[in-house]
Amino acid sequence: MTSLRVISVSDRAQPVRVPPTMAQALLVYGALRVVSLATTAFLLRHGRFQGLHANLWGWLAYGYDAGWYHRLETKWYASPPGVIPPYSWFPGYPAVIDAVAWVTRIGVAPASLLVTFAAGFAAAAGLARLGQRLTGDDRVAILLVALWSVAPSSYVLSMAYSEALFCALAVWALIAVAEERWLIAAGLTGLAGLVRNSAIALIAAVAVAGIVAAITRRTLRPALAVLIAPIGLAGYQLFVATRVPGGLMGTERVQHMAFDWGKSLLRAMVRAAMEGSATFITLTLIVIATALILTAWLLTERLPAYLIVYTLGVVALAVMTNTSYLGSKPRFLLPAFLLALPFAKVLAPVRKQVLIPLITILGIASTWFGLFLVINHWAP
């Protein structure tokens, strides 16, 4: 005889609730985006920044690389005869924009900013979760999000740029590794490989964690994750290699990421110290030097090996490649979000009355720095 089961109120589907730490981190991230947007809107109407001839909407949706992404969304990699297409811009971000624009029917420009802001909030939520998992301290986790939100050139997290999407994929892939959700980690890493070449660092992190887990636990999923993780980046690089002179060797040239072990950056630093340089170059070099100091500081933390591998990989890709895009290197460092962890721990005991104005000032300064590079003809 079939028995009947009484369904109680507690058996019903419960609403999804955002953990308090994550909710606070999202509020902080949103507030700092407002600070950045307000600063951008103010600067665009004053002084030398008026030379950009842009209002807030035009700058966010079409400024610099944003314009290239819009070209990809309409023409993809088609170029006039004899001209190499813009393979430096990976297809993942514009593909997501196309999908959102098609589903929502709101147009490409609004869709690009919708993707950026949604990805930024997803990255902030993931970073809060990762920070809480690493430290067990809610305050440190929220500060980690806040400091990442005001990092130099973080104002691109409000523009039609791919950094927000990559950071979201990267942080949730790292969380999946921490929680041993290997196939999810591999899938997110594969998608990240279609967004930025910083995925090299993420692939290395998944490989380190996956190989150790496969050997020590003798399970198949970590090994599968190691094999699946590179598919996105490898697939795109092979696609480019079939379309540029020199094959695989030619991809390095068209993507402007020649690895020189930091020699060109070191020369730039020495030249600035010995001969002096323009203010915008000096500030950029100071930002890079600070990132290197934070990297050394992070190594004193007892972090899992795969997180160290990921962070070192992102920093290496930013500082050990040629200086053709020296002004963009602070932006290339944005995915190294854990560099803020030691500083977040130092600030954790500080009262809110001090932290709130301090981080607000950092947000204003960060936005000014990014636009200052632009008016000196350095792409953000």
- The number of distinct structural domains making up the chain is 1
Range of the domain at 212: 20-375
Does any domain span residue 236? Answer: yes
- 368, 39 contact by CB (below 8 A): yes
Whether this prediction's pTM lies above 0.85 is answered by: yes
Does any domain span residue 140? Answer: yes
Does any domain span residue 188? Answer: yes
Query: For position 79, what pLDDT does the model report?
Result: 60
Give 10-residue mean pLDDT values along the chain (380 residues): 39 56 92 95 89 85 75 63 64 89 88 94 96 92 96 90 95 96 96 93 96 88 94 88 66 62 71 68 85 92 94 91 75 94 93 94 93 79
Query: For position 253, what pLDDT does the model report?
Result: 60
Query: For position 325, what pLDDT does the model report?
Result: 73
Does any domain span residue 358? Answer: yes
Does any domain span residue 13? Answer: no
Does any domain span residue 285? Answer: yes
